[in-house]
Amino acid sequence: MAQIVKRAYKFRLYPTNEQAAELSRTFGCARLVYNKALEHRSRAYTLEGRKVTYVQSSAALTEWKKTEDLAFLNEVSSVPLQQALRHLQAAFANFFAKRAKYPTFKSKKKSRLSAEYTRSAFTYRDGQITLAKMNAPLNVVWSRPLPEGAQPSTVTVTKDAAGRWFVAILCEDHITPLPPTANVVGVDAGITALATLSTGQKIVNPGHERADRRKLAKAQRDLARKEKGSANRQKAKLALARIYARITDRRRDHLHKVTTRLVRENQTVAIEDLTVRNLVKNRKLARAISDASWRQMRSMLEYKAQWYGRELLVVDRWFPSSKLCSACGAIQRSMPLGVRDWVCACGASHDRDVNAAKNILAAGLAER
């Protein structure tokens, strides 16, 4: 039976000069409102021990718009500004629930440039989207169709460091679960092999960052030589950002293909609960671990398994998957990273990663 899910469809966007200027103003105003509201809430709690709610922040925004210094906030759509306050409220909720650190101020140079529009601030008609404060629809490259009869609930416009514009359209989609299968698989995430399966198959890690490391190094040197604040430095910065964008796009595309295949072919997928944040503290492996992007792979497996009626099992991070013999259950005293093949006292010969994948699958099935 098909289930209804909220799904975001992302497309390239080519705004006109006027639209780009309007969106840039909106980005700046949304960032300003977020920072000002954060400062207001932090000061109220520090000086008075008082918590400021979203409703109070919204009322404060209304007052800010009436001042001479912040009157320019009235020039952009009010919806992205309200959404900035909602994002701040969510950030505080995550902080108080101990899911995240205390919210930080958004930097003009480092923060993601985005503006979120809800239904009252855009129209979707005849396959075209027109945002509030704009007279013409956006020039969107519809690389794939939206679901039939889709009614977008949210439109988010972003601009990345490489100067590319995107629009993400959130709407409801009907997803039909995949036919059941008896296949189960354990997955051991790695560096040389992105994923080693309990079946013995290894999915190679393309190493997209490593492949473009020479280009990256040259672009970084070019940027370092340019004078700060100069136009040439901006050009060099953009060139570097484009290389990073290419790496990120290729990595994401590969992870989508790998995770979709694992979910399609198996009813149950077992993985290890790796703490990437701690693993990247190893200076020798941090770059390779980041390039493998294990966290993103797990995130994709989680939502795809939920969409398509599959089961994702997560094994405790302290489970000795590499040191445990999958044949007899004996645990080795130590297993240095350099040991890729080993023989157990019972006579079983193991490939380190394949053995770990088998143990992850067995542990996941046992903990169901």
Q: pLDDT value at position 212? A: 87
What residue ranges do the domains of the chain occupy?
3-175, 184-366
- CB contact at 8 A, 221 and 265: no
List 116, 173, 291, 353, catalytic entry: 353
Q: Report the alpha-carbon distance of residue 204 to residue 300 in Å, rounded.
A: 18
Buried b (16+ CB within 10 A) or exposed e, 92-131: beeeeeeeeeebeebeeeeeebbbbbbeebbebeeeebeb
- Characterize the bridge pairing of strands 268-272 and 311-315: parallel
Among candidates 165, 137, 141, 123, which has minimal Cα distance to 27? Answer: 165
Q: Report the alpha-carbon distance of residue 141 to residue 153 in Å, rounded.
A: 19
List 22, 116, 173, 188, catalytic entry: 188
Q: pLDDT value at position 210? A: 81
Alpha-helical segments (H) within the chain? 17-48, 54-66, 78-96, 208-211, 213-225, 231-265, 276-279, 286-292, 294-307, 352-366
pLDDT digits (tens, 9 = 90+) for 136-163: 999 999 999 999 888 999 999 999 999 9
Helix 231-265 to helix 294-307 angle (10° resolution) is 50
Q: What angle do CA 215, 221, 226 make, to 5 degrees?
A: 130
Residue 273 is a catalytic residue:
no
> Left (φ > 0), alpha (ψ -120 to 50) or beta: where does 328 sit?
alpha
Q: Report the alpha-carbon distance of residue 28 to residue 19 in Å, rounded.
A: 14
Among candidates 19, 24, 34, which has minimal Cα distance to 122? Answer: 19
Residue 341 is a catalytic residue:
no
Contacts 24+ apart (CB under 8 A), 231-239: 238/161, 238/162, 238/163
Among candidates 203, 336, 190, 212, which has minimal Cα distance to 260? Answer: 203
The contacts of residue 264 (CB under 8 Å, 6+ apart) are 178, 308
Residue 353 is a catalytic residue:
yes
Among candidates 304, 2, 4, which has minimal Cα distance to 176? Answer: 2
Consecutive 10-residue averages of pLDDT for the chain (368 residues): 89 97 97 97 91 94 96 97 97 94 90 94 94 96 92 96 96 93 94 90 87 90 93 94 93 94 97 71 64 86 95 91 91 87 91 94 91
- CB contact at 8 A, 258 and 294: no
The type of residue at 298 is R
DSSP 280: T
Q: What angle do CA 304, 313, 321 make, to 5 degrees?
A: 130
List 22, 209, 272, 291, catalytic entry: 272
